[in-house]
């Protein structure tokens, strides 16, 4: 008897395209990461991945997470030049079933799979049983989703574009930064500050406010390095403001979704900040909601440390929803 064909899992972001193979009930394996900029589109990247891993049987089922709204056949990534037709990719890859999901909807599916080694708790709080959980993550953009463990008909994950909601200031300095960015962008969404490019935007706005001669965009990685080594006071201020606004945004999500099961933080930016990310400030701003401060004190917050968090979410989606 021939072995069952593996399922193809893919996590497509603005910078990287991550791939794996997985059989029902087993963990994902044969991971590879390709740069989106090195490939003209998803179909080519899938073909390249399969040529690299050379499975005994070509997958005929796939689940793909994309950093974009999923509203129909046509998909255009928010922070990448890639766009594709779901039907065309399925035909080109020989897939009988292709499921395309928002990347943070996939992370919401993954939350129940994480163990103690996949998470780092930030501050106090204990999860309420069977309560909604929220997840967000600053990366190339800012993703948001919610997991409902007891939705009608079974567990459900909510796709969202919450990263594009308007961002409020909590201090006069933050209000000044947002005003500088409003003059540049018009609408200042949460993503304009809470993302890799957003950290660069904060730093740039601070240089403008301080009338600094070096008022140019600095790369996020450079800002993170300067903050970690305490070499640049403005980098330290930018990361502190990033930490505070991230905590405020997390608190907003907890209240919006009723996320008494906890708020989970994903994305590539905060791990790269390392010890420069101020977890204490994050948590204080998380709880600083006036009359609902005591409500938020009971809500836990975690940093997701799993190296490939979307992959178990894609596998769980296929196991629970489609198989």
Q: What digits encode the pLDDT tens for the residues 119-131?
A: 999 999 999 999 9
Residue 222 clears pLDDT 60, i.e. is over it: yes
SS3 of 71, please? coil
Residue 108 lies in a domain: no
pLDDT value of residue 213: 67
Residue 227 lies in a domain: yes
* Same domain (yes/no): 163, 177: yes
Residue 136 clears pLDDT 70, i.e. is over it: yes
Instruction: Report the percent of the chain where pLDDT is more than 90.
Output: 83
Query: Average pLDDT in the 297-315 region?
Result: 95
Q: Tally the domains of the chain.
A: 2
Cα 319 from chain centroid (whole Å): 22
* Same domain (yes/no): 12, 121: no
Burial (CB count within 10 angstroms: exposed 0-12, middle 13-18, buried 19+), residue 38? exposed
CATH code, domain carrying 252: 3.40.367.20
* Same domain (yes/no): 97, 174: no
Of the candidates 304, 302, 306, 312, the residue with the CA atom closest to the CA atom of residue 279? 302
CB 7 within 8 A of CB 59: yes
Residue 232 lies in a domain: yes
Q: What is the average pLDDT value for the chain, to the nearest integer?
A: 93
Residue 249 lies in a domain: yes
| Interatomic CA distance for residues 78 and 68, integer angstroms | 5
Residue 109 lies in a domain: no
pLDDT value of residue 281: 98
* Same domain (yes/no): 177, 288: yes
Burial (CB count within 10 angstroms: exposed 0-12, middle 13-18, buried 19+), residue 297? middle
* Same domain (yes/no): 295, 317: no
| Interatomic CA distance for residues 195 and 159, integer angstroms | 19
DSSP strand pairing (7-12 vs 61-66): parallel
* Same domain (yes/no): 66, 121: no
* Same domain (yes/no): 130, 64: no
Residue 1 lies in a domain: no
CATH code, domain carrying 11: 3.30.420.40
Residue 265 confidence class, pLDDT cut points 50, 70, 90: very high
Range of 194's domain?
115-305
Is-above-0.75 flag for pTM? yes
Burial (CB count within 10 angstroms: exposed 0-12, middle 13-18, buried 19+), residue 242? buried
* Same domain (yes/no): 240, 257: yes
pLDDT value of residue 214: 65
Instruction: Report the percent of the chain where pLDDT is more than 70.
Output: 98
* Same domain (yes/no): 64, 201: no
Query: Average pLDDT in the 185-201 region?
Result: 97
Residue 2 lies in a domain: no
CB 305 within 8 A of CB 12: no
* Same domain (yes/no): 44, 151: no
pLDDT value of residue 322: 62
Q: What digits encode the pLDDT tens for the residues 60-69?
A: 999 999 988 8
* Same domain (yes/no): 268, 209: yes
Alpha carbons within 13 angstroms on the beta-carbon side of residue 19 total 26
* Same domain (yes/no): 133, 89: no
SS3 of 80, please? coil
pLDDT value of residue 148: 95
Residue 110 lies in a domain: no
């Amino acid at each position: 008897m021939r072995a069952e064909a593996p399922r193809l899992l893919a996590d497509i972001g603005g910078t990287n395209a991550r791939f794996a193979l997985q059989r029902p009930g087993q963990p994902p394996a044969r991971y590879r990461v390709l740069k989106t900029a090195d490939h003209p589109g998803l179909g080519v990247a899938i073909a390249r991945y399969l040529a690299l891993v050379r499975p005994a049987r070509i997958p005929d089922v796939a689940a793909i997470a994309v950093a974009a709204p999923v509203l129909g056949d046509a998909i255009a990534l928010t922070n990448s030049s890639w766009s594709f037709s779901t039907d065309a990719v399925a035909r080109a890859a020989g897939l009988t079933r292709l499921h395309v999901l928002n990347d943070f909807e996939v992370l919401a599916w993954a939350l129940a799979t994480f163990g103690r080694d996949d998470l780092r708790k930030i501050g106090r709080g204990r999860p309420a049983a069977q309560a909604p959980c929220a997840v967000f993550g600053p990366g190339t953009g800012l993703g948001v989703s919610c997991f409902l463990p007891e939705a009608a008909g079974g567990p459900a994950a909510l796709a969202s574009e919450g990263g594009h909601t308007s961002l409020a200031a909590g201090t006069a300095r933050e209000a000044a930064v947002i005003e500088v960015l409003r003059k540049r962008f018009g609408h200042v969404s949460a993503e304009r500050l809470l993302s890799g490019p957003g950290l660069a935007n904060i730093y740039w706005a601070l240089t403008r406010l301080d009338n600094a001669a070096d008022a140019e965009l600095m790369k996020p990685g450079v800002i993170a390095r300067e903050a970690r080594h305490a070499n640049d006071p403005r980098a330290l201020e930018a990361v502190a403001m990033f930490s505070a606004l991230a905590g405020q945004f997390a608190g907003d999500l907890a209240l919006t979704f009723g996320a008494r099961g906890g708020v989970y933080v994903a994305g590539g930016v905060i791990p790269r900040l390392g010890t420069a990310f101020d977890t204490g400030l994050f948590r204080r701003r998380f709880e600083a909601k006036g009359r609902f401060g005591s409500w938020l004190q009971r809500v836990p917050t975690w940093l997701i440390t799993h190296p490939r968090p979307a992959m178990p979410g894609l596998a769980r989606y296929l196991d629970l929803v489609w198989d």
